[in-house]
Structure 1
Amino acid sequence: MYKVFVNERPLILTDKIRDKEEGPYFMMNKAEVLSAVEGLRKKKFDNAFVYHPNHEEILNKFSSYIPLVVAAGGVVTNKKGKVLFIYRNDKWDLPKGIIKKKEDLEQCAIREVEEETGVKDLHIENFLRTTYHIFKRNGKLRLKEVHWFAMKTKYDGILVGEEKEGIIKVKWKGPEKIRKALENSYINIRILFEPPSV
């Protein structure tokens, strides 16, 4: 199962048929996939399911209709235990970006954090999770797959938001400010701060 967010609403790619009352079901073909995405974008329903019997093939099939863009980013903690946030498009977000050729996911995550925030001396601790969401670029739908890493840094220099990426603020936030920031963030960012499911 994959949970892909469209306009903050979940589109669940699944190989199981559940109770219809959970939300509308669509088959894995281009017309139905686009119909499900459009319905969620226009808030016609709270969630939707796309069914395909072969779990191994679900993501490949889906991304043959909505092209996949691979990205990586970081949940960065400093020596005071504060977490690095960026502010763009009127929302609090975390630094991330699209992978370049000949770059692995970890290199991409570190480069993007450095470029978007000015923070140096980054060390990856572990992989956190992968999130998915759909966005529009030049009028075309794209599926973004973001690989998130927990990072540490001793950097205590100036924070510089990357202007060309529309980042207008970069801040270190402690627990109380994190809670407040997450109220004005994206669901995929909030997920990163949830306790792991047992």
Structure 2
Amino acid sequence: MAQIYKIYINEVILILTESLPPKIEDYQELKVSDFDFFSFYKLISNHQSPKTFLLLTKDFKSVFNHIKRSMILIKAAGGIVSNEANKYLFIFRNGKWDLPKGKIEKGENSRVAAVREVQEECGIRIDSCRDKVCNTYHIYEMNGAMVIKKTAWYWMRAIKQKKLVPQLEEGITDARWLSAGNLMLVRQNTYPLIRDLINVIG
């Protein structure tokens, strides 16, 4: 399987890799010779519909590290949480379905931060935090500066939670348990990053 870095920029996915990934169909290939991330960012800043761009190069790790070093790095963590009914926890934040996550605080490791954020955002108790699912990278602007957010995602389990309490002060207006076969509601109104993440659910 091809090694890849996926960078999410709102509705756009930028894939950096040395060989064509399997099961990729609708994409636009970029030329390595004249690739500049900030020019690319300006080009795609008005994209309102999902779009995938592919940058094929043997030096894809170097390109990724160059992009990362040129921005402010924010570290975050979150969870894909299941319950005893094998349903999964989703939140509705700022008009879109999302997974619970948040910034890592000083002195925390990513696993501790992931559990804390899920518990705070949904008003539940996490019974177990298991293997890491993956890291994701999301680029956005904040106060005129470019930020790359690295989020560590973990599998979690929460048993016998009677009530979900969405954290309103964080813009979360709803929290729900949804079955793996009933995720169309989420897929129709979420971010490409979350859409890719829930592919591991089903």
Instruction: Name the TM tier (shorter chain).
Output: 0.7 to 0.9
Q: Give a deviation string over 1:60-112, Cα, whole Å, max 9, x none.
A: 31112222211110010011111111001111100001111111110010010
SS at match of 2:133: strand
Query: Do the aligned residues in 2 keep the contact of 1:27 with 1:33 (CA within 8 Å)?
Result: no
Q: Are the aligned partners of 1:28 and 1:62 in contact in 2 as well (CA < 8 Å)?
A: no
Query: In percent, how many aligned pairs have the same letter?
Result: 31
Tell me by how many angstroms 1:55 deviates. Answer: 4.3
TM-score (norm. length: structure 1) = 0.83
Alignment of 1:1-198 (within 5 A): 1-14=4-17, 22-25=28-31, 32-43=36-47, 46-49=51-54, 54-195=59-200
State the TM-score, normalizing by the size of structure 2: 0.82
SS in structure 1 at match of 2:132: strand
Partner secondary structure for residue 61 of structure 1: helix
Return the structure number with greater helix share: 1
Tell me what 2:23 maps to: none
Q: Contact 2:11/2:51 (CA < 8 Å) preserved in 1?
A: no
Q: In 2, are the aligned partners of 1:27 and 1:52 still within 8 Å (CA)?
A: no
Q: Are the aligned partners of 1:127 and 1:148 in contact in 2 as well (CA < 8 Å)?
A: yes
- Aligned pairs, how many? 191
**What are the ranges of 5 or more consecutive residues in structure 2 without an aligned counterpart?**
21-26
SS of 1:194's equivalent in the other structure is helix
Q: Runs of 5+ in structure 1 lacking a partner? A: none
Is 187-196 or 146-155 further displaced after alignment?
A: 187-196
